[in-house]
Amino acid sequence: MAGLSSSHLLKLALPLIKTHGFTREALARSVISLPSTSTAQPYTEPLSDSAVTALFGKGDAARRTLIDAWLDDGLKYMTVGPASVEALAGVEQEEAPPRTIRDVLRARLEYNEPVLPHIPDAFAVMATSGFHVVDPLPAMKHALKIADGACIATGDKSLQLEWYAHRASLAAVYTAAELHQLTSPHTAPAFLDSLLESTSNLKSAVAEVALYSDYVFKSWKGIIKSSGVLPP
């Protein structure tokens, strides 16, 4: 285990979420993706459970570490955009038009697509503690980070009350769209567009936040119960 970097292994674990979910196994298998070097042979076996614990934490703490890394990567994907990714790879690009809130939030939904079957499990891990109590704070932080990232990526200039109202409405709208995506992936982009249209002005946004927030909390609680973490 000497010389292993947890941050490097986390990056290698992200593509494994598609096949292994947000699990300790995905973290354990990340080491197999390490390239061989002139001084080190490639790993052919996953990390032991004790090594996963040492690098990423005990039990579900390791899974939360992986989930957090995936969420951070999703923010980068959303704010950078496919064109910038290609530019970094040396692909020549025509100058792209400015990105809109719709573009950025749709990109974040797109990022979910390869791992959609595993997202309810991630939500359950994020929102529950050892006492089996639903904690809404991780959901709120997740949504607000996305809203803030979307505003920064599009150059939002809102001030004071409008600043808070805009981010609160975007957070609620995105989370409602994300929850919709879990049951109807193909209609999620259109659903997102309809929600953005209905909250296009400040008065409507403030009125809708409470409605969406109640829907979001009830939906998260339903997802967690269906995962078996909470009793019915």
The mean pLDDT value for 153-165 works out to 79
Label residue 137 by pLDDT band (50, 70, 90). confident
Distance between CA 73 and CA 45 in Å, rounded? Answer: 26
Same domain, 43 and 106: no
The confidence score (pLDDT) of residue 83 equals 54
- pTM of the predicted model as reported, rounded to 2 decimal places: 0.83
Residue pair 104/149 in contact by the 8 Å Cβ criterion: yes
Q: Decide if 70 is inside a domain.
A: no
Same domain, 214 and 108: yes
Same domain, 217 and 132: yes
Between 145 and 202, the more confident residue is 145
Same domain, 111 and 201: yes
pLDDT tens digits, 200-218:
654 455 555 555 566 666 6
pLDDT tens digits, 169-197:
888 889 889 988 988 999 999 999 998 88
Mean pLDDT taken over the chain: 82
The confidence score (pLDDT) of residue 90 equals 52
Same domain, 12 and 111: no
From residue 142, alpha-carbon distances to 54, 111, 204 in Å are 26, 14, 23
Same domain, 47 and 139: no
Determine the structural domain holding residue 170 and report its residue range.
98-226
Same domain, 25 and 105: no
Q: Decide if 84 is inside a domain.
A: no
**Res. 28: pLDDT tops 50:** yes
CA angle 55/57/62 to nearest 5° reads 100
Q: Decide if 191 is inside a domain.
A: yes
Same domain, 120 and 182: yes
The confidence score (pLDDT) of residue 94 equals 58
In one-letter notation, the amino acid at residue 142 is H
Label residue 35 by pLDDT band (50, 70, 90). confident
**Res. 131: pLDDT tops 90:** no
pLDDT tens digits, 77-119:
998 865 554 444 454 555 667 789 999 999 999 999 999 999 9
Q: Decide if 78 is inside a domain.
A: no
**Res. 150: pLDDT tops 50:** yes
Q: Decide if 74 is inside a domain.
A: no
Number of domains in the chain: 2
Same domain, 169 and 114: yes
Same domain, 23 and 135: no
The confidence score (pLDDT) of residue 127 equals 80
**Res. 13: pLDDT tops 90:** yes
DSSP-H helix ranges across the chain: 6-13, 17-20, 24-29, 49-56, 59-88, 101-112, 119-127, 137-153, 160-183, 188-198, 202-226
